Amino acid sequence: MIKSFAELGLNPNLVEGLKKVNIIEPTDIQSRTIPLALENKDIIGESQTGSGKTLAYLLPIFERINTTKREAQALILAPTHELAMQIDREIQLLSENSGMQVTSTPIIGDINVERQIVKLRGKPHIITGSTGRILELIKRRKINAQTIKTIVIDEGDKLLDINNLSAVKDVIKTTLKDRQLMVFSATINVKTLTIAKSIMKEPEVIQIQAVKDINPNINHILFMAEQRDKIEVLRKLLASINPQRAIVFINKSDEIRLTASKLQFHKVNACPIYGDASKEERQRAMEGFRTGKTNVLIASDLAARGLDINDVSHIFNLDLPEDSNEYLHRSGRTGRMGKPGTVVSIVSPREMPIIKKYEKDFKIHIDIKEVYQGKILDAELIINPGNIRR
Q: Does 116 have pLDDT greater than 60? A: yes
Q: Does 256 have pLDDT greater than 50? A: yes
Q: Does 276 have pLDDT greater than 70? A: no
Q: Does 279 have pLDDT greater than 60? A: yes
The answer to whether the predicted template modeling score (pTM) of the entire model surpasses 0.75 is: no
Q: Tell me the CA end-to-end span of the chain in Å, nearest whole number.
A: 55
Write the DSSP assignment of 264-278 as a string of letters.
Answer: HHTT--EEE--TTS-
Q: How far apart are CA 171 and CA 308, in angstroms?
A: 27
Q: How far apart are CA 152 and CA 131, in angstroms?
A: 11
Across 294-340, where does the E strand assignment appear? 296-299, 314-317
Q: How far apart are CA 103 and CA 18, in angstroms?
A: 17
Q: Does 386 have pLDDT greater than 70? A: no
Which pLDDT score, from 0 to 100, does residue 291 have? 83
pLDDT band at 211 (very low <50, low <70, confident <90, very high): low
Mean pLDDT of 23-33: 92
What is the per-residue pLDDT across 294-310, written as a single tens digit (0 to 9) for each? Answer: 899 998 877 676 566 77
Which pLDDT score, from 0 to 100, does residue 277 have? 66
Mean pLDDT of 45-64: 90
What is the percent of the chain with per-residue pLDDT over 70, rounded to a whole number? 93
Q: How far apart are CA 358 and CA 327, in angstroms?
A: 8
Which pLDDT score, from 0 to 100, does residue 385 have? 45
Contact 84, 72 (CB under 8 A): no
Phi, psi of 122 (to 5 degrees): -80, 0
Q: Does 388 have pLDDT greater than 60? A: no
Contact 218, 342 (CB under 8 A): yes
Which pLDDT score, from 0 to 100, does residue 275 have? 63
